[in-house]
Amino acid sequence: MSSGALAGRLALVTGAGMGIGQGIARELSRQGADVAIHYASSEAGARATVDEIQKAGGKATALQGNLREVDQCRKVVEDAAKFLGGLDILVNNSGVTRTFEIALTTKEIYDEVFDLNIRGYFFCAQTALPHLLGRGGGSILNITSVHGFAGYTNHAAYAGTKGAIIGFTRELAIELAPKHVRVNAIGPGLIEVPRYFDDPNYTTEIGAARVPWGRVGTPADIGYAAAFLVSDAADFITGQVLYVDGGTTAKMALPSNQDIPPR
């Protein structure tokens, strides 16, 4: 029998074949949850995570689906509930980042970002709700971003989705509070994932220099916060956004003396 703060809980984590979603799935399992791991194209990562969880004595499965499509959202959630025997936790994490100037953002790029980053969240939550209610309530956790808090060049469409996720989280928290379903969000800051290294100019040291805490974040950092927010320890927390960002959103944009180069 599993032990831990999430023992006996049944969780679906979307976009968990790599990066932040993978970190969340690992931590939920480590704390005792049975986990369905959704992936879109990162099959190898999803299967590796399932194997890791099973070898540690946990229960997990991998489910593929394109969550830009409503019917795929519904299928992934229903398949997860069938495998797990219900749902207590939904982590909406599956998303895509596209960085373009607004003048260069095409309809196709806009549709891709909004269809996955917000429509996918909406219909996964809608489909999961009867399963959560069937077990007396539960928790929905939406992954937003520091880009939903403040502006950064060339992220207009992406930031629009992340702001929408915050509004969706707060509304849904109030709508579902009487049904004993808590809804919160995590806003990751600079969390180092493999795609960062697609930029030949990026290094861990450069990333760390941008974060007040002095280091980049890891998927595990988000996993720890996620496990807390979906646990009973967070029973009185709903409708909130927790920024896990090493102080990034707390820092003023105005230059400090140390930011001003000597003349």
Both tokens of residue 256?
A: 């400090």
Round the CA-based radius of gyration of the chain to a whole number and report it: 18
Tell me the HSE value of 71 on the side-chain side, using a 13 A CA sphere: 0
110 is a catalytic site residue: no
| 105 half-sphere exposure, CB direction, 13 A CA radius | 19
Q: Which entry of 110, 158, 196, 202 is annotated as an active-site residue?
A: 158
Rounded Cα–Cα distance for residues 144 and 95 (Å): 9
Residue 244 Cα distances to 112, 161, 253, angstroms:
26, 18, 18
Supply 82's token pair. 């069938």
Structure tokens given for 10: 């049944």
Task: State the Cα–Cα distance between residues 223 and 248, nearest whole angstrom.
Answer: 18
Query: Identity (one letter) of the amino acid at 172?
Result: L
107 contacts: CB under 8 Å, gap ≥ 6: none
List the catalytic residues.
158
